[in-house]
A = this chain, B = another copy of it.
């Protein structure tokens, strides 16, 4: 909810090595100034259109992946054939409501994963994802 100056987003894109184009700035505004969000490409596209931001679905996909590569977003896979993007890139886990298809952060450091096995030879652990699946 903190109303940061628009230039903050501009800086944020620049530091990520991404040209602050009209589309990227507009999408960044939608993504990062509305609190934590779990959003699909289709949803973000609809959201953009609702705000009179003209942007193609292809660009939304490109932008989401660029933001993810730049570490501004985190991609979450819980549902075959649908990608969610999480604006919260800190270390945390998720509830997944199977019926509605909604995702929700599991607060703070409640859940803990212990005794994570060693990465097999020649590999490194990128991330440990925990999804608590819920009926309803």
Give the number of copies in the complex.
2
Does A16 interact with chain B (Cβ within 8 Å)?
Answer: no
Asked if B111 contacts A117 (CB within 8 A), the reply is yes
Looking at A81, A104, A106, A113, the one whose CB has the most chain B CB atoms below 10 A away is: A113
Does A36 interact with chain B (Cβ within 8 Å)?
Answer: no
Asked if A130 contacts B132 (CB within 8 A), the reply is no
Given contacts A77-B77, A113-B113, contact A133 B129 (CB under 8 A): yes
**Please, what's the 1-or-0 string for A96-133, where 1 marks a CB less than 8 Å from any CB in chain B?**
01100000101100111111110110111111111111
**Please, what's the 1-or-0 string for A5-36, where 1 marks a CB less than 8 Å from any CB in chain B?**
00000000000000000000000000000000
Asked if B111 contacts A115 (CB within 8 A), the reply is yes
Number of residues from A at the complex interface, CB < 8 A = 39
Does A83 interact with chain B (Cβ within 8 Å)?
Answer: yes
Does A70 interact with chain B (Cβ within 8 Å)?
Answer: no
